[in-house]
Amino acid sequence: MTEVKVNKPLHVLAEEAIKKMIVLPEYQNGKLLPNEIELARSLNISRNTLRQAINKMVFEGLLCRRKGYGTWVAKKTITGGVKNWLSFSQEMQRLGIQVKNYELHISMEQPDENVRRFFGMGEGINELCLKLERVRGHAEYPFVVFISYFNPKFPISSDDNFAMPLYELLEKQYDIVVHTSVEEISARLAGKRVASKLRIPENDPILIRRRFVYDIKGVPVEYNIGYYRADSFTYTITAER
């Protein structure tokens, strides 16, 4: 391994060197990184400097560490947050995950009261919403079930190509530019229906992510619910003062 040079702070260079190392195939299957003494020696830095770099990467979710065991590459998970929200396709692209669509169902349905209230639909009016249900994941297994309802005021059609990124479709096909996402996160047991789609036991925990999506004019566009395998989703909150 190339020795660390001092044209930058040592801990920054150490972090850069470790980032190059952990993308190697040999470290993608849970193999431990070299121990601190060996790694510090190979980088020509002190163990304190090495720990500073590793601590930062653990905080960023790139590495996992357990006292008395070692340090290894963190499993990639979907990471959501309150700043700079992304579409699912953008999240996956950022993580370098190739998306696989396991199921895609399109229907016209009468929505429940929560959806009707969000879209401002009148009471007692038998108005239908386009409903899009997708089961998505990577090559190994599905990890999320999405259910989306779209505002009937927009002419979104079941004939649209929902295989392409959703918000890209809305912008290109209908000039709908989504701008704001209000989110709610909760947890529960999977239950029979979701468990069968995610290929997990019914009593496994799942995370539920509700998204209320508005366009640039503040008009509600999409009511979305995502049911995620708990081992495949991390939600981060950044607080500043």
- Say if residue 60 is in the same domain as residue 89: no
What is the token pair recorded at 1? 């391994």
Nearest to 54 by CA among 76, 69, 75, 39: 39
Domain-embedded: residue 150 = yes
How many domains is the chain partitioned into structurally? 2
What CATH number is given to the structural domain containing 15?
1.10.10.10
pLDDT the model gives residue 124: 61
- Say if residue 168 is in the same domain as residue 222: yes
Tens of pLDDT along the chain (241 residues)?
Answer: 444 444 677 888 888 899 888 888 888 767 889 998 999 999 889 998 998 888 888 766 778 888 788 888 877 655 555 554 556 776 666 667 788 889 999 999 999 999 998 998 877 667 899 999 999 998 889 999 999 999 999 999 888 888 788 888 888 888 898 888 888 899 999 999 999 999 999 999 999 999 999 988 889 999 999 999 988 877 666 555 5
What CATH number is given to the structural domain containing 144?
3.40.1410.10
- Say if residue 109 is in the same domain as residue 226: yes
Domain boundary among 39, 73, 107: 73
pLDDT the model gives residue 73: 86
Give DSSP secondary structure letters for 167-223.
HHHHHHHH---EEEEEEEEEEEE-HHHHHHHHTS-TTSEEEEEEEEEEETTS-EEEE
- Say if residue 119 is in the same domain as residue 149: yes
- Say if residue 60 is in the same domain as residue 121: no
pLDDT the model gives residue 76: 63
- Say if residue 29 is in the same domain as residue 99: no
Tell how strand 100-109 and strand 129-137 pair up: antiparallel
Domain-embedded: residue 115 = yes
pLDDT the model gives residue 143: 92
The 3-state DSSP class for residue 43 equals helix
- Say if residue 59 is in the same domain as residue 156: no
Domain boundary among 41, 73, 105: 73
Domain-embedded: residue 232 = yes
- Say if residue 132 is in the same domain as residue 172: yes
Domain-embedded: residue 178 = yes
Query: 39 lies in which domain range?
Result: 10-73
Domain-embedded: residue 5 = no
Taking the C-alpha atoms of residue 56 and residue 34, their distance in angstroms, rounded to an integer, is: 17
pLDDT the model gives residue 203: 95
pLDDT the model gives residue 4: 45
pLDDT the model gives residue 27: 84
pLDDT the model gives residue 79: 53
Half-sphere exposure of 105 (CA within 13 A, CB side): 11
236 DSSP β-pair partners: 81
- Say if residue 103 is in the same domain as residue 46: no
Domain-embedded: residue 31 = yes
- Say if residue 90 is in the same domain as residue 205: yes
Nearest to 161 by CA among 109, 106, 213: 106
Expressed in percent and rounded to 5, the helix, strand and coil fractions of the chain are 30, 30, 40
Domain boundary among 28, 52, 73: 73
Domain-embedded: residue 193 = yes
Domain-embedded: residue 241 = no
* E strand residue ranges, 13-111: 63-66, 70-73, 78-81, 100-109
Taking the C-alpha atoms of residue 217 and residue 227, their distance in angstroms, rounded to an integer, is: 28
What is the token pair recorded at 178? 């989504």
pTM (two decimals): 0.63
Radius of gyration of the chain (CA): 22
- Say if residue 137 is in the same domain as residue 99: yes
End-to-end alpha carbon distance in the chain: 40
Q: How far is CA 128 from CA 67, 112, 176, 193, in A?
A: 56, 11, 20, 24
pLDDT the model gives residue 182: 87
**Are the C-beta atoms of residues 30 and 66 closer than 8 Å to each other?**
no
- Say if residue 188 is in the same domain as residue 136: yes
